[in-house]
């Protein structure tokens, strides 16, 4: 009796499909992608030791995704021009609500900012009235202006921002679980329950990894099928250009968080500064023995800084 081999589902787009828009974006932004990966790996490792920095990063990405999703909703619900109607047709072929991030990030903020804003209304008022940092505000403005001027550029954000979270979400959840000290503590929540409540940014399905992977491939397939023939070559080139700019904007807004915190810490002698120094010292103990000389130098420098700020504050 002759048996038939099971059919293997073809991946769309194939990694070798040079005509696929997603592959073209990845190819042309490879250097920018590698650069921000290296940069983010250092910054995230740093932020996970300092909860006040980490939650600022989460708030930053709330503003970014909220701006993107405002434009997505506008195009899906109320397109006005032929170009916007075209994007409505494209988006309807692959966009799924499971991808929406802003409401999930808000749930993370409810946990991370609960000591200061214990109710949802108080948090909503803080987020609404919170003035984004200058570079972040520029990025938010750029999102609105680029999509309103050239509706096709929404597809750059759909590819770069959302699939980046898919790629890094599992790693981030694992890292955050090992650093639960960065979350506010609640007597009625175990560390694991707290992490589950505070990592919605990186979660795309409540049904686990397999469901997330299926959702990812569904999204990528729909994106490819919707963009291959619906767009002109000039639109595709513009989407690729904006994709590269998105990587640059992300690098700048993350760098801004570090710059602003450095300025605050170095100009104010406070408990936060002492906590920051203590956390950095604990981390330094994990370094190899070959780094002892560097640690001694850093320790002396930190002692000098402490004395300097004490004198500056009280003399």
SS (H, E, C) 273-304: HHHHHHHHHHHHCCCCHHHHHHHHHHHHHHHH
* Confidence at 282, pLDDT banded by 50, 70, 90: very low
Q: What is the pTM of this model?
A: 0.77
Report the alpha-carbon distance of residue 246 to residue 50 in Å, rounded: 26
Query: How many other C-beta atoms can be found within 10 angstroms of the C-beta atom of residue 104?
Result: 18
Q: For position 295, what pLDDT does the model report?
A: 45
Average pLDDT over residues 230-259: 91
- Would the annotation count 33 as a binding residue? yes
Torsion from C-alpha of 20, 21, 26, 32, nearest 10 degrees: 160
Both tokens assigned to 295 = 């640690």
Q: For position 22, what pLDDT does the model report?
A: 87
* Confidence at 291, pLDDT banded by 50, 70, 90: very low
* Confidence at 8, pLDDT banded by 50, 70, 90: very low
Read off the pLDDT of residues 109-142 as tens digits, 9 standing for 90 and up. Answer: 998 888 889 899 999 999 999 889 999 999 999 9
Q: For position 85, what pLDDT does the model report?
A: 97
What is the total residue count of the chain?
315
Which single residue is written with the structure tokens 């602003």? 260
Do the beta carbons of residue 76 and residue 92 sit within 8 Å?
Answer: yes
Read off the pLDDT of residues 249-276 as tens digits, 9 standing for 90 and up. Answer: 988 898 888 777 665 555 554 445 445 4
Which single residue is written with the structure tokens 């004198």? 311
Taking each helix axis from N to C terminus, what angle separates 271-284 and 292-314, rounded to the nearest 10 degrees?
170
Do the beta carbons of residue 155 and residue 27 sit within 8 Å?
Answer: no
* Average pLDDT value for the chain: 78
Reply yes or no on whether the pLDDT at 14 is more than 50. yes
Reply yes or no on whether the pLDDT at 278 is more than 90. no
Read off the pLDDT of residues 167-224 as tens digits, 9 standing for 90 and up. Answer: 766 666 666 666 666 666 666 677 777 777 888 888 888 887 788 888 888 999 999 9
Lowest mean pLDDT among 21-25, 80-84, 118-122, 185-189: 185-189
């Amino acid at each position: 009796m002759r048996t038939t081999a099971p059919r293997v589902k073809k991946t769309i787009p194939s990694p070798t499909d040079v005509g696929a828009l997603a592959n073209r974006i990845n190819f042309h932004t490879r250097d920018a992608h590698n650069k921000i990966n290296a940069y983010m790996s250092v910054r995230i490792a740093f932020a996970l030791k300092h909860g006040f920095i980490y939650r600022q990063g989460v708030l930053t990405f709330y503003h970014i995704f909220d701006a993107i999703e405002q434009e997505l909703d506008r195009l899906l619900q109320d397109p006005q021009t032929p170009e916007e109607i075209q994007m409505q047709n494209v988006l309807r072929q692959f966009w799924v609500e499971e991808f929406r991030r802003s409401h999930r990030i808000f749930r993370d903020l409810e946990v991370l900012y609960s000591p200061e804003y214990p109710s949802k209304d108080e948090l909503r008022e803080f987020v609404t009235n919170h003035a984004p940092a200058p570079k972040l505000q520029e990025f938010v403005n750029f999102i609105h202006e680029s999509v309103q001027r050239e509706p096709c550029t929404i597809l750059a954000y759909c590819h770069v921002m959302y699939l980046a979270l898919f790629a890094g979400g599992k790693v981030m959840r694992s890292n955050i679980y090992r650093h639960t000290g960065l979350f506010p503590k609640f007597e009625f929540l175990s560390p694991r329950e707290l992490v589950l409540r505070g990592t919605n940014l990186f979660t795309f399905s409540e049904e686990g990894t397999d469901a997330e992977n299926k959702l990812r491939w569904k999204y990528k397939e729909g994106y490819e099928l919707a963009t291959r023939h619906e767009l002109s070559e000039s639109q595709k080139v513009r989407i690729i250009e904006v994709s590269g700019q998105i990587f640059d904007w992300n690098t700048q807004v993350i760098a801004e968080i570090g710059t602003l915190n450095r300025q605050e810490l170095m100009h104010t002698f406070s408990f936060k500064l002492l906590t920051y120094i203590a956390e950095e010292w604990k981390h330094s103990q994990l370094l190899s023995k070959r780094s002892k000389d560097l640690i001694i130098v850093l320790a002396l420098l930190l002692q000098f800084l402490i004395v300097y700020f004490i004198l500056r504050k009280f003399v």
